[in-house]
């Protein structure tokens, strides 16, 4: 973006469009220029669409001009919805299918085929309906199965805060594009921390919505045991809220439906609702699970919440939150999911998949999943359902979000780290000998919300001694995004965020 708008959020940029202070065509030209200039350093947007993006931005500029002429431009954005007409965005190259656009999911065999989407997904239709304009699709690890973005097919994406560091994954390309000032918002999805991890690594707001909040229609249904949900990476809480208002539209036949909002409620509207004192549990896991800088970041955020009037209870987490058996059962679901993914491609391509088609870790996962009996998969789902009911008793059903869960232990929120340490160097998590162990240690705080289906948000509240961002994570009860966003806005208003404008000199 231009010097004036490079780190402007989507809400402010749309406001500038509405008043004529900024022009969608010029903003898109600046975004495309920055995307092209930074690509050699970042490798974030791997499928740019400059001609189509510019044409769509020009159409947006004409619509804004007509609105201003008719007196319909929204100089004061409402809380019930914001027209992001002409605001640049990026789409992760995993899910969110776009008709005619490359869609490779980080997989070599799809690159070789030049595979393109054949339809617009329900989600992409909602984003385009809100006026957002995609600059292109972003890099992702193969099938999104890890928390760093280093696919063999496209090479690694760099973290704008430090180019030798991982941007996280699997929405790492999207996070890098937002953090580097290419776009103010970007699509991601989260099946095991894949929105929250890159948000923490890149100093962004990353909201994983409640299961079923964003539809996967029409292509996907029961995807990876229901662990994954789509969402957005943003610079501000208000953009996170307004993006959630845009994408929270179920489609007929969705296997999961999140608790609906009231007739006069919106996620953006929650940002201005006064909050009573909340009961917030805080946990950094067992001793040694989180590094000292991460523990300090969580403690500092907890101190801030205490100063805001909330009741903080340290060293407290739901019963079984860090259970080892959770990992055992999720491995079953994930490996069967990988086997199912490849079986689906076999059917679409009319040929068997081989070890030459996919990366070794995913081939191993698919072979293991294909070898497991169906009864083991069903048993794993049942065990995870029992775990989910056990941990849900922790949350307060009477929190100011209108959730409909049985009355629990009285906690409104749980705060934990996102990652157990600062984001590591590129290559550290992709190491073939030790990468799996390193990933398990670093990502010990994110899988729980995917299994439970709860909403969780990563907030950029601190930096370590080297100036690298650290994220803290808040979890709410099922359907509790309004509460998460309200508390996140409180933290933001209290100067509890790091600034993307303070990217270190090494960054692009």
Catalytic residue set? 92, 170, 194
What the block records as the tokens of 295 is 């523990």
Count the helix, strand and coil residues of the chain and give each as a percent rounded to the nearest 5.
40, 15, 45
| Sheet of 133-138, strand order | 45-48, 133-138, 88-92, 185-190, 229-234, 205-208, 456-463, 469-475, 413-417, 279-282, 311-314
Q: Would you say 100 and 196 are in contact if contact means Cβ atoms under 8 Å apart?
A: no
Q: Are 477 and 392 in contact (CB under 8 A)?
A: yes
Q: Which of 313, 234, 245 is nearest to 497 (CA)?
A: 234
Task: Give CA–CA dist 52/61, Å, rounded.
Answer: 14
Q: What is d(CA 189, CA 230) in angstroms, rounded to the nearest whole number?
A: 4
Structure tokens at 10: 């989507």
Is residue 36 classed exposed, middle or buried when 0-12, 13-18 and 19+ CB atoms within 10 A define those classes?
middle
Give me the sign of the Cα torsion angle 248, 206, 12, 36.
negative
d(CA 385, CA 366): 23
Q: How many residues does the chain have?
A: 508
Q: Angle at which helices 10-19 and 50-70 pack, to 10 degrees? A: 50
Rounded distance, CA 376 to CA 99, Å?
37
| Lookup: tokens for 14 | 């749309």
> Of 462, 449, 453, whose CA–CA distance to 414 is shortest?
449
26 to 316, 396, 488: CA distances (angstroms): 50, 48, 32
Kindly state the tokens that stand for 458: 């990563």
> Residue 98 in contact with residue 124, Cβ under 8 Å?
yes
If you write DSSP's letter for every residue of 16-84 in order, what string do you get?
HHHHTSS-HHHHHHHHHHHHHHHHHHH--EEEE-HHHHHHHHHHHHHHHHHHHHHT---SS-BTTB---
Report the Cα 306 to chain-centroid distance in Å.
27
């Amino acid at each position: 973006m231009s010097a004036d708008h490079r780190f402007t959020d989507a809400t402010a940029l749309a406001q500038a469009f509405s008043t004529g202070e900024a022009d969608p065509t010029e903003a898109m030209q600046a975004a495309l220029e920055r995307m092209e200039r930074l690509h050699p350093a970042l490798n974030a947007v791997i499928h740019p669409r400059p001609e189509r993006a510019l044409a769509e931005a020009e159409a947006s500029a004409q619509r804004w001009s007509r609105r201003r002429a008719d007196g319909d431009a929204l100089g004061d954005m409402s809380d019930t919805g914001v027209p992001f007409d002409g605001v640049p965005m990026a789409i992760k190259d995993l899910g969110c299918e776009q008709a005619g656009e490359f869609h490779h999911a980080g997989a070599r065999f799809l690159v070789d085929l030049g595979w393109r989407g054949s339809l617009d997904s329900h989600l992409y239709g909602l984003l385009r309906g809100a006026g957002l304009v995609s600059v292109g699709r972003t890099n992702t690890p193969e099938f999104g199965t890890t928390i760093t973005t280093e696919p063999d097919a496209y090479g690694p994406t760099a973290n704008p805060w430090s180019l030798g560091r991982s941007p996280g994954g699997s929405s790492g390309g999207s996070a890098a594009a937002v953090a580097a000032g290419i776009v103010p918002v970007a699509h991601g999805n989260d099946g095991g921390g894949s929105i929250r991890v890159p948000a923490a690594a890149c100093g962004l707001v990353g909201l994983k919505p409640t299961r079923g909040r964003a539809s996967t229609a029409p292509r996907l249904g029961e995807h990876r045991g229901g662990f994954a949900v789509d969402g957005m990476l943003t610079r501000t809480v208000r953009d996170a809220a307004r993006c959630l208002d845009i994408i929270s539209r179920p489609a007929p036949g969705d296997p999961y439906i999140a608790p609906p909002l009231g007739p006069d409620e919106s996620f953006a509207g929650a940002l201005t609702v006064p909050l009573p004192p909340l009961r917030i549990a805080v946990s950094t896991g067992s001793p040694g699970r989180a590094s000292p800088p991460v523990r300090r970041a969580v403690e500092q955020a907890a101190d801030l919440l205490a100063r805001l009037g909330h009741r903080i209870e340290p060293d407290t987490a739901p019963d079984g939150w860090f259970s080892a058996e959770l990992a055992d059962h999720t491995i079953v679901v994930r490996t069967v999911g990988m086997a199912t993914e490849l079986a689906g491609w076999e059917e679409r391509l009319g040929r068997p998949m081989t070890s030459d088609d996919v990366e070794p870790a995913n081939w191993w996962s698919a072979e293991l999943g294909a070898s497991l009996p169906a009864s083991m998969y069903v048993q794993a789902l049942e065990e995870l359902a029992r775990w989910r009911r056990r941990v849900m008793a922790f949350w307060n059903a009477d929190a100011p979000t209108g959730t409909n869960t049985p009355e629990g232990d009285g906690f409104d929120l749980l705060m934990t780290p996102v990652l157990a340490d600062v984001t590591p160097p590129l290559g550290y998590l992709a190491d073939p000998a030790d990468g799996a162990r390193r990933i398990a240690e670093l990502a010990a705080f994110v899988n729980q919300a995917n299994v439970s289906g709860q909403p969780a948000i990563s907030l950029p509240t601190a930096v370590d001694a080297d100036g690298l961002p650290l994220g803290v994570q808040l979890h709410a009860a099922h359907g509790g995004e309004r509460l998460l966003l309200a508390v996140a806005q409180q933290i933001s208003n209290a100067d509890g965020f790091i600034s993307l404008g303070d990217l270190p000199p090494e960054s692009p």
